[in-house]
Amino acid sequence: MSFDQLGLSEKVLAAVKSAGYTSPTPIQEQAIPHVLARRDVLGIAQTGTGKTAAFVLPMLTRLEQGRARARMPRTLILEPTRELAAQVEESFQQLGVNHKLNVALLIGGVSFGNQDMKLTRGVDVLIATPGRLLDHTERGGLLLTGVELLVIDEADRMLDMGFIPDIERICKLVPFTRQTLFFTATMPAEIRRITEQFLHNPVKVEVARPATTVDAITQSLVKCGREAHDKREVLRKLIRSAEGLKNAIVFCNRKRDVATLYRSLLRHKFSAVALHGDMDQSSRMAALDQFRKGEVAILVASDVAARGLDIPDVSHVFNFDVPHHPDDYVHRIGRTGRAGRTGTAISIVSPSDQKAIGAIEKLIGRTIEWQGTPPVVDEPFGPQEPVRMGARMPSRGGRRARSSGEGKPNEARSGEGRSSEGKSGEGRSGRETVAASPKAASAGGGKSGTNVTPLESARRRQAARDPSDDIESYLPAFLLRPIRVKAKA
């Protein structure tokens, strides 16, 4: 099928042809006719399959009729991150080259005044992140009562970022009669609840099973040690030895790890740039621009770059940290292998990541191969000695070890008062020793001719006791001190 058969306008078809697109992707082929028919659409597709054009192209066709009014946008597109919002704006600029539409971008990190000026002139397409959009509505500078078409893009990412309450508020501000397009790559239970609440008899367009990965991506695992410097060393070896590496995105779970890894790669003479949520908007856009143009080879990023960013020719994705949520793995590796290309995704796995890898394999429905010798799954933390019930843990030099005068193990201390004669306790058990008279026990614990205090004697009696005998072995020394009772007059 070609774009000519989807019902798009002549202006849109001319822009598609000039952009170099020849045939629609499966999600575009199935979704565009329903959007033009004004049906609510629930689109589920793998990342990198052209979901953005699936709603941009029919929106351009519909917006050829009508005009914008001040502070009342005609269409609204919600994106979870600033980068995705800016990317959708670029798509409108590219595919809407034959249209005279006013497109406004409402994202954080940009002046309110400039955004307010655009809204005052009237907006055909409003692209926004939920937080900044609600800021404008609460200030009274934006009315959503004129929205004819609402698009919620990357809905599962909205859920991860905590935007679902904001989405519910926004959906109540737009007219009940609007058309809603809902696009996502995965379908958690909370997302399913939102679709049932705000979509009216939607057409479900599913071109792939939710949370599946593209077959063109070669996935593998590499084991490493526990320490961060071990992982950095493994990553450097992988980058140097990777076959056909043109450029790569390296994902970390935490923003501070992004900054640390970025500095480490620079010290080792790698061409790299960082991207995370704590950077200001201009720095984030500059970093993406450098990576897209090929000025740097490695982009070290948090999950802010995992969803929907269209960087067409990424050859490798490295998971420096295995993601906490299995869905994030699908989105991360979806940055490579886009538009029919092949790609490679390698995850660096420490001993504590075994459970997360199991969850990922269960989600994607396949086993990921290991490079080299896989770790022993039954002993992810190394062999351990069995612990006998009731056994006392070794002293760490704490209060009990200091109170005995020396940090000796329990076994060494217990031999000091095993018998009333001060010998090693030949033929006598610990129970028999404790049963001995207090005077004998106090006389046999120390050096000859030295008086032993009642407190020290109690400690030695406790040390001599077999820990498995009874609960008294757990009593602290101060509870074993003798009590002086005053005689009644």
pLDDT in tens, 185-211: 778 888 889 899 999 999 999 886 666
The rounded radius of gyration (Å) of the Cα atoms in the chain is 34
Q: What is the pLDDT of residue 425?
A: 40
Highest mean pLDDT among 226-235, 377-386, 439-448, 475-484: 226-235
What residue has token string 């209060």?
399
For the chain, what percent of residues have pLDDT higher than 90? 49
pLDDT of 37-85, one tens digit each? 999 999 987 766 788 999 999 999 999 998 889 999 999 999 998 888 9
- Category of 178 on φ-ψ map: left (φ > 0), alpha (ψ -120 to 50) or beta: beta
Tokens of 184: 């996502």
- Integer Cα distance of 122 and 106 in angstroms: 14
> Residue 100, Cβ neighbours under 10 Å: how many?
7
All domains of the chain, ordered by start, with CATH? 3-206 (3.40.50.300), 217-370 (3.40.50.300), 399-480 (no CATH)
Q: Which of 207, 258, 246, 251 is nearest to 343 (CA)?
A: 246
Q: Give the C-alpha distances (Å, rounded to integers) separating 33 from 13, 27, 180, 285.
A: 14, 11, 14, 34
For the chain, what percent of residues have pLDDT higher than 70? 76
Q: What is the pLDDT of residue 429?
A: 40
- Integer Cα distance of 35 and 60 in angstroms: 11
- Give the chain's mean pLDDT: 81
Q: Which of 193-202, 296-305, 459-468 has the lowest mean pLDDT?
A: 459-468
Asked if pLDDT for residue 112 goes beyond 70, the answer is yes
- Integer Cα distance of 307 and 199 in angstroms: 23
Q: What is the pLDDT of residue 308?
A: 59
CB 174 within 8 A of CB 130: no
Please name the helix (run of DSSP H) or strand (run of DSSP E) that holds residue 463, with its range, or none: helix 454-464
Asked if pLDDT for residue 153 goes beyond 70, the answer is yes
What residue has token string 């005044």?
113
CB 223 within 8 A of CB 191: no
Q: Which of 209-218, 242-251, 254-263, 439-448 has the lowest mean pLDDT?
A: 439-448
* Distance from chain centroid for Cα 354: 16
Question: Amino acid identity of 134?
Answer: L
- Edge-to-edge strands of the sheet including 75-78? 103-106, 125-128, 75-78, 149-152, 179-184, 41-44, 203-206
CB 314 within 8 A of CB 249: yes
- Integer Cα distance of 229 and 361 in angstroms: 27
Burial class (CB in 10 A: 0-12, 13-18, 19+), 236: middle
Give pTM, 2 decimals.
0.63
Of residues 374 and 266, more confidence is placed in: 266
Q: Which of 96, 123, 93 is nearest to 11 (CA)?
A: 96
List CB contacts of 299: < 8 A, sequence separation 6 or more: 247, 248, 249, 250, 272, 273, 274, 275, 287, 288, 291, 305
Please name the helix (run of DSSP H) or strand (run of DSSP E) that holds residue 116, with its range, or none: helix 112-121
Q: Give the C-alpha distances (Å, rounded to integers) separating 363 from 157, 162, 325.
A: 17, 22, 10
Q: Give the C-alpha distances (Å, rounded to integers) separating 162 from 156, 159, 167, 265, 303.
A: 10, 5, 10, 32, 14
Q: Across residues 323-331, what is the average pLDDT?
A: 86
What residue has token string 């822009």?
15
Q: What is the pLDDT of residue 162?
A: 87
Per-residue buried b or exposed e for 146-172, using 16+ beta carbons within 10 Å of the residue's own CB: bbbbbbbbbbbbbbbbebbebbeebbe
Burial class (CB in 10 A: 0-12, 13-18, 19+), 139: exposed
